Amino acid sequence: MLAACGTNKEETPQGGGGQAACDTSKGTLIVGVVAPQSGNLSALGLGIKNSADLAVKQANEKCTVKGYKLALQTEDDQATAQVGAQAATKLSSNPNVVGVIGTLNSSVAQSVQPVLAQKKIAQISPANTNPSLTQGTDYVNSKKRPFETYFRVCTTDALQGPFGATYMVSKAGKKSIATISDGKTYGVGLVDEFSKQATKLGAKIVANEKVGEKDTDFGSVIAKIRTANPDAVYYGGEYPIAGPLSKQMKAAGLNIPLMGGDGIFDGKFIELGGVDGDLATSVGAPTESLASAKAFIDAYKAGGYPEAYSAYGAFSYDAANALIGSLASTLGDSGTWSDDKRADLLKKIGEYKATGATGEVAFDEYGDSTNKLLTVYQVAGKDWKPVETGKYEG
């Protein structure tokens, strides 16, 4: 049994400190992270990694999992589905891996889910928002959970899209809206949910275009939507495209706000061209405004991480703590980890309830977060400023 629970000799996992006062005689267990550590979305992925690392270090300092040391093993999925599947395969081959925090991208999650599910390895995402990941492809008419191993601590685009549309139409007064997506799972799903609610509220979707995730010149798309005379643009995708798109829109004389979802909610969007008046929705309430997040923020700063925790740091911290807390509950004071504990761990995660950095952390029957809060942010100068926090009530 000790052989199955010893440190993975082929890796040098990151993280894990404060061991002097703890009994770690049973070996090392691994918390995996699958998120982009390089490339255009690394600002978000590094925040996810660092925040999970903080949770692991704190758990070690508190001797949370009796008899064990925890260590973090991070795999860079490069925001690419195929690379994500390879990362999941690598982690799933190690019997010491108790669970995985990730992914960032919903399209990557689609390839990671079945790999981890084969070994009954828990996955808790801090950032995936596509509803089909938890409720199946026909989630509108017939919800069905595809993988019992998959959970998330953020709400979904089934709420985020309509929440953004409600603000855009009812509060900002935009009635003629063009939509653009990057063609990926997250972007297409978000645009679809936004468009349904905007139309329901009386707005008209006057154009629906797509761009490639590697495009840099958006002149032809801007020319097409200009002829439709929109008073706003809604973009489904992430900040590497959204920032330059906003910049080129304004340069072309299309001085209307661009709105997106949590995929554009990062300082990089502003650096790349986002301007005053542009909008984004994101999951949860602003981290800095939550009393429950103060201890996380202070500890993150004290940890000396070179990167910001970014949009999903607090969610990653909560996801890691849900996994670690459930693991501690599964093993108790004297239990020993082995593959046959995976089903028990999944059950404990499903029952997990705590107050985390983001507020209430718990899961419904689909593995979705019970925390449905969302926030609309607006660019003001060089920062995002929250303008409305609430829930989409339908």
Separation of alpha carbons 25 and 33, rounded Å: 24
The DSSP call for residue 101 is E
Is residue 377 within 8 Å of 279, Cβ to Cβ?
Answer: yes
Domain-located, residue 31 = yes
CA–CA gap between residue 300 and residue 296 (Å, rounded): 6
Q: pLDDT at position 78, please?
A: 98
Q: Is residue 369 part of a domain?
A: no
Within a domain: 367: no
Query: Which tokens in the block code for residue 60?
Result: 């070690």
Q: Are residues 163 and 141 in the same domain?
A: no
**Residues 124 and 205 both lie in one domain:** no
- Residue identified by tokens 């953020």 is 154
Statement to judge: residues 40 and 115 lie in one domain: yes
137 plus 257 within the same structural domain: no
Residue 75 φ then ψ, to 5°: -115, 130
pTM of the model: 0.92
Instruction: Clarify whether residues 140 and 234 are in a common domain.
Output: no
Same domain, 276 and 380: yes
pLDDT of residue 393: 81
> Within its chain, how far is the Cα of 31 from the centroid?
17
ω before 7 within 30° of 0 (cis)?
A: no
CA atoms within 13 A on the CB side of 262: 32
CATH number at residue 346: 3.40.50.2300
Separation CA 129–CA 86 (nearest Å): 22
CB count, 10 Å around CB of 301? 10
Torsion of CA 106, 108, 111, 114, to 10 degrees: -60
**Same domain for 319 and 379?**
no
Is 330 part of any domain?
yes
Note down the domain range covering 315. Answer: 2-155+288-362
Output the CA angle 76-81-87, nearest 5 degrees: 40
Q: No. of H helices and E strands in the chain?
A: 13, 14
Q: Are residues 31 and 149 in the same domain?
A: yes
Residue 174, token pair as written in the block: 């935009």
pLDDT at 20: 56
Q: Is 241 exposed, middle or buried (0-12, 13-18, 19+ CB in 10 A)?
A: buried
Task: Give the model's pLDDT for residue 9.
Answer: 34
Please indicate, yes or no, if residue 349 is contained in any of the structural domains: yes
> Total structural domains in the chain?
2
| 107, part of any domain | yes
pLDDT, position 3: 33
Q: Are residues 143 and 30 in the same domain?
A: yes
Check residue 7 and give its pLDDT: 34
Distance (Å) of CA 125 to CA 33, 220, 270: 10, 36, 26
CA-CA distance, 343 to 339, in Å (whole number)? 9
Distances (CA, A) of 306 to 47, 75, 259, 371: 10, 18, 29, 29
Instruction: Let me know whether 198 and 308 are in one domain.
Output: no
Cβ atoms < 10 Å from Cβ of 338:
11
Instruction: Look at residue 206 and tell me if it is in a domain.
Output: yes
74 bridge partner residues: 33
Same domain (yes/no): 262, 190: yes
For the chain (394 residues), the mean pLDDT of every run of 10, in chain order, is 34 46 96 97 97 98 98 98 98 98 98 98 98 96 97 97 98 98 96 98 98 95 97 98 98 97 97 98 96 98 97 98 98 96 98 97 98 97 96 84
Supply the pLDDT for residue 128.
98
Residues 321, 198, single domain; the answer is no
**Closest to 207 (Cα-Cα) out of 192, 193, 185, 224:** 224
pLDDT at 115: 98
